[in-house]
Amino acid sequence: MTRFTSSSRSSPRIAIVGSGVIGLSCAWFLSRDGASVTLFDAAEPGRGASWAAAGMIAPAFEAAMAKGVHPDLLEFCIASAELWPDFVTELEASTGRTVGYVPGPSLAVSCDADSDLELTWLAAALRQSDLPFSTLLPSEVGAIEPALTSEISGALQLASDGHVDNRLLVEALIAAVRKSERVEGIFSKRISDIDALKRDYDYVLITAGWQSGDLLNGVKGPLPVGGQLLSLPQTEQCLTTTIRCGDLYIAPKTDRIIIGASVEPGKVSRETSSEIIAALHDRAAHICPDLRGLPMLENWAGVRPAMPDHAPVIGCLDQGTVFVATGHYRNGILLSPKTAEMVSDMILGNKVSTLVQNFTPDRFKIGV
């Protein structure tokens, strides 16, 4: 992968506020590209939304874009999905860890009138995109995933949509940045004064997830959108493919099966509701009956950072010293390598992907 070559420039000092998947990926790319990096986190690194997520790397789902979603989000998702194989190879080689990356395919299935409609809409949107997909007969779905109910009425196989174990991913990123000679450390500190950091570092990068708004000057911050999930043990006869059915997903990892997720605007509490968790389990068991009898391993809640157009803000906030990369909403795992590439190129003055121009914070300036 040609990206990770050391720069010959002198080493700028960069403070990163927030050590989720976005802050950690940026730290790793920046340090590999020659910068000196220091990370801060108010809590345990990597335990925010990045830990709570389901780890789907699913650009195809952004093709069926709802009204108001950023028109270039799909292009961003596709560009980032393309970086994943090299991103994983480099990270695993650097740390000696595995992150459970599977490049695809995933299945989108329907089993009632609502999900039939959504599948038709997704297929129509995918026809307009460059993303490969195939329409499967119900009998073909059974051959791919025998654990699914015979009530499946339609399915699309999405070659572009894979998955990763997001918890293994953040642990590997933490290991990679801790190993890097150019990373001073990940310090346990809540940052509230960006100006104080500006005095000590050449650049400050804000990657504080849904809490980034407190640190942004003159730009609207992300809105929190809570999500609850549960996991069940993985068994031999259970699923290996990620299944989406409407807004429900079943995302298998090697050691567990994740089922999610609720979408709760404004919810920042990590509390879960037994009713919501039971309803998710029940809906998943309707699609995959073997899941009904399995004991729950864990249930949890996380907070997605959402901008009004569901796309991230990436760019400079002032005259060139404070940068932001946040608002990745439901695609922060997928978008992490492309975000890190853009941020590193912007801060280090390298040629930047033209895509980033469409995601700058200017579109959410307060008072404009």
Ligand X SMILES: Cc1cc2nc3c(=O)[nH]c(=O)nc-3n(C[C@H](O)[C@H](O)[C@H](O)COP(=O)(O)OP(=O)(O)OC[C@H]3O[C@@H](n4cnc5c(N)ncnc54)[C@H](O)[C@@H]3O)c2cc1C
Question: Can you list the positions of beta strands (E) in 153-297?
Answer: 154-158, 162-163, 183-188, 203-206, 223-233, 243-245, 248-252, 256-260, 264-265
Size of the site for ligand X (CB under 6 A): 42
Q: Residue 198: which H helix or E strand, with range? A: helix 194-200
Min dist CB 19 to ligand X, Å, is 5
Cβ within 8 Å of residue 293, ≥6 positions away: none
Indicate which single residue of 152, 173, 229, 324 sits in contact with ligand X (rule: CB under 6 A).
Answer: 229
Indicate which single residue of 59, 105, 227, 315 sits in contact with ligand X (rule: CB under 6 A).
Answer: 227
Instruction: Kindly tell me which of 151 and 298 has the beta carbon lying closer to ligand X.
Output: 298
Q: Residue 343: which H helix or E strand, with range? A: helix 332-348
Question: Rounded CA gap, 331 and 11, in Å?
Answer: 31
Instruction: Kindly tell me which of 30 and 208 has the beta carbon lying closer to ligand X.
Output: 208
DSSP string for 247-278: TEEEEE-SSEEEEE---EET-------HHHHH
Min dist CB 44 to ligand X, Å, is 7
Question: Rounded CA gap, 19 and 43, in Å?
Answer: 9
Min dist CB 364 to ligand X, Å, is 16
Per-residue binder mask for ligand X (CB under 6 A), 29-68, x = binder: -----------xxxx----xxx-xxxxx------------
Minimal CA–CA distance to 208: which of 357, 12, 24, 11? 24
Considering only residues 240-279, where is the footprint of ligand X by CB under 6 A?
A: 260-261
Instruction: Kindly tell me which of 154 and 221 has the beta carbon lying closer to ligand X.
Output: 221
Min dist CB 265 to ligand X, Å, is 12
Indicate which single residue of 14, 21, 288, 307 sits in contact with ligand X (rule: CB under 6 A).
Answer: 21
Per-residue binder mask for ligand X (CB under 6 A), 191-210, x = binder: x---------------xxx-
Indicate which single residue of 127, 190, 292, 365 sits in contact with ligand X (rule: CB under 6 A).
Answer: 190
Considering only residues 110-149, where is the footprint of ligand X by CB under 6 A?
A: none
76 counts as binding ligand X under rule CB under 6 A:
no
Minimal CA–CA distance to 221: which of 201, 194, 196? 194
Task: Determine contact, residues 216/324, Cβ cutoff 8 Å.
Answer: yes
338 counts as binding ligand X under rule CB under 6 A:
no
Min dist CB 328 to ligand X, Å, is 4
Q: Residue 306: which H helix or E strand, with range? A: strand 298-306
Minimal CA–CA distance to 16: which of 306, 269, 339, 333? 339
- Enumerate binding residues for ligand X (CB under 6 A): 17-23, 40-43, 48-50, 52-56, 190-191, 207-209, 211, 215, 227, 229, 260-261, 302-305, 326, 328-334
